[in-house]
Amino acid sequence: MPNPKRRHSKTRTAKRRTHDALQAVAVGLCPQCQEPKPPHIVCPTCGYYRDRQVREVPEE
């Protein structure tokens, strides 16, 4: 198997790794209860998704 003739510079390595950083998770507000929740997910607080209740939430 062939090996590289010369080592890659730190700049070249860094250019390749520019997209490897983790991004923060997007958070929006639930239109029903105004609690923060990830998009496209059933609200864990009220159980609503797209203006209808899809999951029962136990009352505290």
Residue 38, SS3 per DSSP: coil
Per-residue model confidence (pLDDT) at position 60? 65
Per-residue model confidence (pLDDT) at position 1? 87
Per-residue model confidence (pLDDT) at position 57? 85
pTM here?
0.59
Domain range for residue 35? Answer: 25-60
User: Residue 16 falls within a domain, yes or no?
Assistant: no
User: Residue 4 falls within a domain, yes or no?
Assistant: no
User: Residue 43 falls within a domain, yes or no?
Assistant: yes
- At 46, list the tokens: 């009220």
User: Residue 58 falls within a domain, yes or no?
Assistant: yes
Q: Do 37 and 44 touch, CB atoms closer than 8 A?
A: yes
Per-residue model confidence (pLDDT) at position 58? 82
Residues in the chain, pLDDT under 50: none
